[in-house]
Structure 1
């Protein structure tokens, strides 16, 4: 699915069943996307992501940062993180996304992929800290990358191509029935920042 133009109806559901994915096209202009990408790249408190798998600590090349309205605890991959306070730029983006989607968010997990060699394996964001069936808004900045969903039972796939400034929202039962991933690629040599605005249910 090639998504380089804003769809006529952003409320179209791109999943065939068992969940909801809306695509909003370009939330940001080219200039705005470039500004936020450069600012976040240099001013966010990035750290290499960590996971504990079968009791072994794994440190990834991909970097992450966790921000929120309160010092929320968020546990995934058996590692607990504490949210940092919002920056003015993250509040600006959160406000624009809330206006566009009609949803509200109290936290943001940011991912920094340095090039196409770094990606994310199949997973779902079903951690107990998150609001059940809540909306997760994904804003892409930087390099264009493919993004995919796969149904847990039928294995049916839905693929996207997301460019800098694109906004995609997944909600309802999506995390229960679908996996998603950012596949690695050898043809992308530039970094990408992905912001996932979400709601911690505390």
Structure 2
């Protein structure tokens, strides 16, 4: 297996979600690490995962019509950690070496256990993910979601659930790590919007812990 240098740097940023947001009340937290993986290693890791992950094209029903999910997806994890997304319950594929290595490094860095990862491949700027929160009951009340980006930088948007005028925008570069924790999923929605001018792909890995 190719070993990758997962740089556990101290260059972390605690993101403020807006001056008008009482974070002590919401207890929503964002942690951003711009260079969790060195650029050369991020590129090699992207190439490996693009070929080794069992990407699938999913469909879901919207207003009585079957529509394709605008990205490719895969679900990996420990046995017994099914997860519902795109309207379907998915059983996890067994870990591949690269994903398991990232999982172990994230656990060491964050002090949080992870037993699964949702993989998304955005083929170009037409692929996207709409407004949502990772608030499924199998994740618990205050899940820790660790999101690793590889490949093409993409925009990432947040908006408050009860006050949509409160918004935050950022760019997730290749090798960056964004961690959502606390009451983030209770109070905030997030999305990866379409960016039609983008022609290059991006892989996003969101590690999480399914309650079993």
TM-score after normalising by structure 1: 0.91
> Where does residue 84 of structure 1 map in the other structure?
93
CA contact (8 A) 2:157 2:168 kept: yes
Deviations 1:30-56 (A, max 9, x none): 111011100110110000123233454
Aligned with 1:183 (options 193, 207, 210): 193
> Where does residue 166 of structure 1 map in the other structure?
176
Aligned with 1:10 (options 6, 12, 28): 12
Instruction: Measure the CA separation in 2 of the matches of 1:179 and 1:61.
Output: 18
> Where does residue 3 of structure 1 map in the other structure?
none
Alignment of 1:131-150 (within 5 A): 131-150=140-159
Instruction: Measure the CA separation in 1 of the matches of 2:135 and 2:202.
Output: 24
Q: 1:8 to 1:40 in 2, by over 3 A?
A: closer
- Tell me the secondary structure at the aligned position of residue 108 of structure 1: strand
- Tell me the secondary structure at the aligned position of residue 187 of structure 1: coil
5+ long unaligned stretches in structure 1: 1-5
- Tell me the secondary structure at the aligned position of residue 99 of structure 1: helix
CA contact (8 A) 1:76 1:127 kept: no
Aligned with 1:95 (options 104, 123, 132): 104
Deviations 1:114-170 (A, max 9, x none): 001111111111112213211000000000011011001111001111110000000
Q: 1:128 to 1:59 in 2, by over 3 A?
A: same
Q: 1:55 to 1:200 in 2, by over 3 A?
A: farther
CA contact (8 A) 2:70 2:129 kept: no
Q: 1:153 to 1:7 in 2, by over 3 A?
A: farther
CA contact (8 A) 1:52 1:79 kept: no
Answering whether residue 37 of structure 2 is matched by residue 35 of structure 1, we say no
TM-score after normalising by structure 2: 0.87
Answering whether residue 202 of structure 2 is matched by residue 200 of structure 1, we say no
Instruction: Measure the CA separation in 1 of the matches of 2:205 and 2:11.
Output: 23
Instruction: Measure the CA separation in 2 of the matches of 1:89 and 1:188.
Output: 27
> Where does residue 77 of structure 2 map in the other structure?
68
